[in-house]
Structure 1
Amino acid sequence: MSPPASDPASAEESTEAGERKLRYELIRHRLRQAIVDRRIVPGLVLLEGPVADVFGTSRVPVRKAFHLLHEEGLLQKFMGRGYMVAPRGQQVEPLRLPIDEASLGQDAQDATIYIPSESERIYSEFEQSISAAIVFGHFRIDEAQAMQHFSVNRGALREVLSRLVDRGLVEKSAYAAWRAGPLTARAMAQDFEIRLLLAPTALRESAPKLDAQFLSGLREVLRDPAAVDTEELLRIESQIHDTCLAHHPNSKMLGILRQCQMPLIVHQTFCRMFHQSMHPALIDEYRQIVEHLCEGRFAQAAEALAVHLQAARKRTQQQLKVLAVLPEPPLPAYLVRIA
């Protein structure tokens, strides 16, 4: 059961405890299976530090995993530091060997346990809810409600909010309140104007540093867009407008472009609300950009991006008009409308 919104400290403790629980359960499962399969030599002495290094985690979940495996009868205590791999009642001599993936029976898989941070876990859902809301007005973000909704602590929530500030989706007022929206036709036009001025130049300078395999993958998908769903194509759209520009040496320019997200927000919100696939003309525009990049025609790629932005401006204006007359969709409780 989620803690009440009035107790953010409890939410933080609950989230951190949940992550530790997930880690120690994974470590316990990995070690238990290796012991049962005899991939760990009997008698091997396990120490918290080296085992934590193998799994890419702290000592706390390793300590808990050791304790549970001991209670289960798979590890024994002995006259020394750590635990010894031996079933309960079995007499074996302690064996001190280097602790690595092979000695722990993890060399057949990636031993490191990757668990996304709390901010990574909630970012996509948070961004989509903000993007949908600002089309319909001006909202305050209630931190306590958001912490309860996502079951995260304040630090993780503010990390996400800061990332959304960098993208121009959220702002922090003089009174320390987080706010989002409204998305207006004027704001969108201004973002298009900035992107038209800066994005083609950024692409031209960034293109020579792009990974050839990355570009080849984009080209392959765009050759058969019918086989790819809307979310995949929206991901490609983000890569073209963000990843493909990211190697430009002027970080201030890239920062300005990251804050001019309104055109992408309108288009993505429109596609998701209407479950609409990409416009054929848009796919062709992206295909031309990527083909030029794959063939090393960077100036032509920049020109193709400018042509795309001009056409996208007209399409997005029409999409915004459609969205403006729709009834407001159900929004999470942490988004509070500002009159």
Structure 2
Amino acid sequence: MARPLKDQLYHVLHDAIDAGRLEPGLVLLEGHIAEHFGMSRSPVRQTLARLHEEGTICRFEGRGYQVGAQPGEIVRRSLGTGDFSASCIERTDAWRAFAESVERDVVLCSMKGRFELNELQLARALSVSRTLTHRILLYLQTIGVVEKVKYSSWTVVPLDDARLHDLYQARRQLEPYMMTRAADALEDAEIRRYIQRLDAAARDYPRVPSALLDALENDLHHQALMRGGNAEIMTMLGRTRPILLISKHLLGSSIELPSEAPFFDEHRHVFDKALARDGGAAGRALDEHLARSEAQVQARLAEFRDVGAIDVPDYLREVERP
């Protein structure tokens, strides 16, 4: 039987701090750790409290904790897999192991038309409990992919041209504002890491896996924007996630990668302005990027509707248009 998540997380964090992989002064935020390990905030909160009581981490004049017994020079950066040992946390939230494939099936179908999803049939298809299946569907609901209809039936939200445009409008209202704020909060080291990742991917392109493309999109459109410091706006932006899922599940698989890197230069331009501490320019650069991106994504969507093939799983049923 797996140990409680808080105990597993305690040992993972303690070992990383003891080995110096989480360096003195590094800021540890409850939300960031929960997101990195794919768990709720409760075990993270308990783990950080335990480490604080032991003097392994400390409070400082800011949000979260710092690594070390006493406050020191502040280090802010994203957590990566290299920060932790190979021993992983044995998760009780096994739904994540299935969520990726279900997300892909649902997103591809959403681009083709109207579909219903039967929760009971999904549980049978995955050979898992209804509890686990429901967890997957709640996740898909938070990112605007499905909506609950009745007891065991959900509807796949169609990703047509009109909805895609509405989602882009929402992003253009919210993301530039958050980028303007984030430009002042991001540490130079954070921004340089984002730029280095983009430059490395640009050198390797097109030999770039789709998972890396999705991670690079996440660097700008989630990780960096989070530093804008408005959790309510980030929750709203979560509903626009289907835009990124189009490229995540199409590029390199159903649709060939474009001859030139799709967004690297534009993301780099935003980060360059942030590094120069010009929040206004960073926000405008992001708005310009979103405006150009909409036309590109609309074209990908149209191409997939015309020539893309999908295997509709048994738990999804196409609904005729009224």
TM-score relative to the length of structure 2: 0.66
Aligned residue for 1:159? 135
**C-alpha displacement of 1:112:** 7.3
CA contact (8 A) 1:288 1:304 kept: yes
Matched, 1:203 2:183: no
Query: How far apart, CA to CA, are the structure 1 residues paired with 2:188 and 2:105?
Result: 34
**C-alpha displacement of 1:55:** 9.2
Aligned-partner residue type, residue 238 of structure 2? R
Query: How far apart, CA to CA, are the structure 2 residues paired with 1:295 and 1:161?
Result: 42
**C-alpha displacement of 1:132:** 1.3
Aligned residue for 2:32? none
Aligned-partner residue type, residue 319 of structure 2? I
Structure 2, gaps ≥5 residues long: 12-83
CA contact (8 A) 2:148 2:155 kept: yes
Aligned-partner residue type, residue 149 of structure 1? A
> RMSD value over aligned CA atoms?
3.0
Aligned residue for 1:261? 241
Aligned residue for 2:287? 306
Q: Which has the greater radius of gyration? A: 1
> Out of 67, 90, 115, which is 1:115 matched to?
90
Deviations 1:283-318 (A, max 9, x none): 211111122233433222111100101101111121
CA contact (8 A) 2:143 2:241 kept: yes
**C-alpha displacement of 1:166:** 1.2
Deviates more, 1:320-329 or 1:193-202: 320-329
Distance 1:214 1:161, change over 3 A: farther
**C-alpha displacement of 1:214:** 3.8
**C-alpha displacement of 1:136:** 1.0
Query: How far apart, CA to CA, are the structure 1 residues paired with 2:88 and 2:258?
Result: 36
Query: How far apart, CA to CA, are the structure 2 residues paired with 1:306 and 1:313?
Result: 11
Deviations 1:34-87 (A, max 9, x none): xxxxxxxxxxxxxxx9xx957979xxxxxxxxxxxxxxxxxxxxxxxxxxxxxx
Matched, 1:185 2:161: yes
CA contact (8 A) 1:230 1:277 kept: no
**C-alpha displacement of 1:253:** 2.3
Distance 1:157 1:279, change over 3 A: farther
**C-alpha displacement of 1:265:** 2.8
Deviations 1:184-232 (A, max 9, x none): 1000011111111111001212343335444322211211323243320
Aligned residue for 2:302? 321
**C-alpha displacement of 1:164:** 1.4
Distance 1:113 1:184, change over 3 A: closer
Matched, 1:239 2:219: yes
Aligned-partner residue type, residue 226 of structure 1? R
Aligned-partner residue type, residue 303 of structure 2? V
TM-score relative to the length of structure 1: 0.63
Distance 1:246 1:286, change over 3 A: same
Equivalent runs, 1:206-221 vs 2, <5 Å: 206-210=182-186, 212-221=188-197
Distance 1:53 1:280, change over 3 A: closer
Equivalent runs, 1:41-60 vs 2, <5 Å: none
Deviations 1:118-152 (A, max 9, x none): 12222222222221111112222222232233333
Equivalent runs, 1:1-339 vs 2, <5 Å: 20=1, 23=2, 114-116=89-91, 117-174=93-150, 177-210=153-186, 212-224=188-200, 225-227=202-204, 228-271=208-251, 272-276=253-257, 279-280=260-261, 282-339=263-320
Structure 1, gaps ≥5 residues long: 1-19, 25-48, 58-108
Query: How far apart, CA to CA, are the structure 1 residues paired with 2:96 and 2:314?
Result: 21
Distance 1:118 1:285, change over 3 A: same
